Chain A
Amino acid sequence: MYWLSKKRTKIIMLFPAVTLFTLYVVIPIFIMIYYSFYNYSGIGIPEFIGFQNYQFLLRDKTFFCSLKNTIIILVMILVLILPCSFGLALMLNQKFKGGGIIKAMNFSPFVIAPILVGLVWYFILDPKIGLLNNLLGILGMEGLQKQWIGGKTLTPYSVAFVYLWQVLGYYATIFLAGIKGISSDFYEAAEIDGAGFWKKTVYITIPLLKETFVIAVVLIITGGFKIFETVQQLTGGGPNHLSDVLVTYMYHTTFTISRYGYGMAIASVSAIFSFVCAAVYLLISRKSVKGEM
């Protein structure tokens, strides 16, 4: 490749991507940090106020409520997605007629616009006209009818279930890719020793998929922080911000009530939070993987 590697060629090839990336991905980080130290409402000149936005954040009940909701969603989706998608991947790994179509069907919610997903689920979860409560009513289980969305407590749990629906097939496909990568020698050896399906899964598949599990957990954590449209469509953060998550609260502060500086303080803190969650998990899992080797 040496012959073609003139300096000019390299610059021409790198320049467009580097410029675009710097302008719209790297510079925004600095803009965000900059504004988080200012008081700015869109009119006039931003006023420097030091750490006041961050101090305000510590006393803001709505912020902690949205943080709590975000954590509930994160824990719920980790608990739900990992076993469900891994189980689905185990099923799809069996060869049977129509397996391809089944795989495609389970993947399909992933390609639907998240904003439509929120709308579709609105007709299932809405306490008055939604399917869920009506179904419970018909089955004579009125006691179980709940305010799945729009109430005081349950919205984050519902959002977690909707998210499970959205990404189940996606994570199942990631696990399936991992399972396909395991050499069949292991299974054959185990079969000779008389291991059944469950033993093979527990002693071969899961340990060998450690890397895939690590990646999946990191993807779920970072993905969970991004949930936005579903909350926006289901409740809009209401009533009275009780169902807001960090992103919707940030969006509300920034664009609805135009407190740009404070919004950016929320954005910085939640970005750091998401980063730390993923990093801590990566560090722990690296250590444990190394420790065993």
Chain B
Amino acid sequence: MRKKQKWFRKTIFFLAVGLVTFLVLFPYLWIVQLSFKTNTEIMTTPFSLPEVLSLDNYKRALETLKLATMYGNTIYIALFALFISVSFSFMSSYCISRLYFKNKKISNTIYLYFVAGLTIPSYIMIFPIYRITMSLKMMNSRWSLILPLAATTLALDTLLFVGFLRNFPKEIEEAAIIDGCGIVRLCTRVVLPIIKPILATVIVFNIIYFWNEYPISSVLINKEDMFTISLSVSMFKGRYSMDYGGLIAATVLITIPEIIFYCFFQKYLVDGMTTGAIKG
């Protein structure tokens, strides 16, 4: 009797988990299924499976998408923004949490200054950043995006780095200093390996943000050869106005690489969050 009850419970449990996961994955499956259909099939019989697996939609999508430009721009922007945000925030966080300040209030104030940035909703910065970029005469360049994108991540990065360093004993670093290690070597050879777990989380979160950013990019860049992936996607609906098949195929083409990417780094993401990095 008990055994049967347990088995019953297990089935219910797996059904529930399966159902939730299916619902979450369903939108992807749906558009992949649609992407093989002709436009009339999409309009009239969206439910029946495609009669022939036609790749026409993909052909049309590939003809119009400037994949090389958009990926090139996005990768360039993401890499440089990542380098800037991680190195800047690491240096300042290390200084705040480890170096000696005669007046402890100074380091605490700088820390609060950064962390207070978390309370500023990023959308209010769109127009001001546009003005700043105009007055710096940097419109329509990749660096016009790299700097503000990196800047908006500094608050969270600082929170994560300082939070991690404060909970980590500094004996190893002190031993290295006694052995005659300078600050540069200390940071690159001793501290970097120590902070690896939190570094991975910071990198992954930043990359997701840089890769997907849309509102700020949309006002700083309006030349097509500077478009990032998000900007090109925002033009899809206008470009394929009546061609749903092309629109869907283009959507799939951009979504799939993101998912494959995600499969590689999901471990760092989920682990980083579960070890408590994002909790506070």
Asked whether A and B interact, the reply is: yes
Which residues of A come within 8 Å of B, CB atoms?
Answer: 1-5, 9-10, 12-14, 16-18, 20-21, 23-29, 31-32, 35, 88, 91-92, 94, 96, 102-116, 119-124, 129, 131, 134-135, 138, 165, 168-169, 173-174, 176-178, 180-181, 212, 215, 222, 225-226, 228-229, 232-233, 247, 250-251, 254-255, 260, 263-264, 267-268, 270-271, 274-275, 278
Which residues of B come within 8 Å of A, CB atoms?
Answer: 13-14, 16-17, 20-21, 24-25, 27-28, 30-31, 34, 42-43, 46-47, 84, 87-89, 91-92, 94-96, 98-101, 110, 113-114, 117, 119-129, 131-132, 147-148, 150-152, 154-155, 158, 170, 173-174, 177, 182-183, 186, 208, 211-212, 214-215, 219, 229-230, 233-234, 236-237, 244, 247-248, 251, 254-255, 258-259, 261-263, 266, 269-270, 273-276, 278-280
Residues on B with beta carbons closer than 8 Å to the beta carbon of A232: 234
Residues on A with beta carbons closer than 8 Å to the beta carbon of B244: 123, 129
Task: Report Cα–Cα, A255/B98, bound state, in Å.
Answer: 44
A263 and B125 contact, CB distance less than 8 A: no
Q: Please give me the residue from chain B that is nearest to A3 by CB atom.
A: B177
B119 and A131 contact, CB distance less than 8 A: no
Number of contacts between A and B (CB, 8 Å)? 255
Candidates A1, A5, A92, A174; contact of B173 at CB < 8 Å: A1
Candidates A23, A263, A271; contact of B132 at CB < 8 Å: A23
Candidates A35, A107, A275; contact of B266 at CB < 8 Å: A107
Candidates B20, B124, B247; contact of A28 at CB < 8 Å: B124
Candidates A9, A27, A28, A119; contact of B99 at CB < 8 Å: A9
Residues on B with beta carbons closer than 8 Å to the beta carbon of A264: 127
Task: Report Cα–Cα, A30/B241, bound state, in Å.
Answer: 40
B43 and A129 contact, CB distance less than 8 A: yes
B214 and A255 contact, CB distance less than 8 A: no
Could you list some 24 contacts between A and B, CB below 8 A?
Answer: A10-B95, A14-B95, A23-B151, A24-B129, A28-B132, A31-B132, A32-B124, A94-B13, A96-B17, A107-B266, A113-B212, A113-B230, A114-B214, A119-B233, A120-B28, A120-B31, A177-B273, A181-B276, A212-B279, A215-B279, A225-B123, A228-B215, A232-B234, A255-B127
Q: Please give me the residue from chain B that is nearest to A34 by CB atom.
A: B128
B27 and A121 contact, CB distance less than 8 A: yes
